[in-house]
A and B are shown apart, each in its own frame.
Chain A
Amino acid sequence: AQSVAQPEDQVNVAEGNPLTVKCTYSVSGNPYLFWYVQYPNRGLQFLLKYITGDNLVKGSYGFEAEFNKSQTSFHLKKPSALVSDSALYFCAVRDTFSGTYKYIFGTGTRLKVLA
């Protein structure tokens, strides 16, 4: 079965410091991976995706993610955190078996950036 895991419920980081939000995946075949951010009482906002190509993917708002096939990871990173980055972050993999291409989400990581 395809799945993603986000091992940290919460990540705290000081403003201006680099941040990493972890994600590991389990898929058969080539993974299609995504990161979304969710602010309170809002839907999911797309940050970035990996389909093929460079292992370092650049996305919105200064975020990037590193795809590591050997470690089956797709960690989200940002060189310098902002207080406004505080939100709930979801990693997702696209299902490639059912014909729906539905997204399978992790349980989310709450990022708290401290001023």
Chain B
Amino acid sequence: ETGVTQSPTHLIKTRGQQVTLRCSSQSGHNTVSWYQQALGQGPQFIFQYYREEENGRGNFPPRFSGLQFPNYSSELNVNALELDDSALYLCASSGGLGQPQHFGDGTRLSIL
């Protein structure tokens, strides 16, 4: 059984640029949640996709957007990058709403 995989593992961008992070969910999982973990903090919920539709959003501005594809993989897009966007971005998949979430190893995004 393949777990949750995220790509890339590390990324360096400059302010104002745009970035796309990718997540392949665990086999059989139709729900993907994205979290931002700033240095020294716990993960913060960004948004969730369930069967290709956004199913809820945390306190993040609209420049954070996402997609879920028919195979349930997902993308997180961030426009107009700011220094404070530097963080570990974690993807978690689950077999349905309310089911246990399984996390990937994350993408470390650094903004210069």
Which of B40, B41, B56, B102 contacts A102 (CB under 8 A)?
A: B56
B43 with A44: CB separation less than 8 A: yes
Most buried by B among A43, A90, A92, A108: A43
Residue tally, chain A, CB below 8 Å to B? 22
B62 at the interface (CB under 8 A from A): no
List the B side residues contacting A99 at CB < 8 Å: 55-56, 97
Contact A100 B56 (CB under 8 A): yes
What are 11 A-B residue pairs whose CB atoms fall within 8 Å in the complex? A41-B108, A42-B105, A43-B103, A49-B100, A100-B48, A100-B56, A101-B98, A102-B58, A103-B33, A103-B35, A108-B42
By size class, the interface of chain B is 20 to 34
Q: CB-CB < 8 A to B58: which residues of A?
A: 102
A103 neighbours in B (Cβ, 8 Å): 33, 35, 43, 45, 92, 101
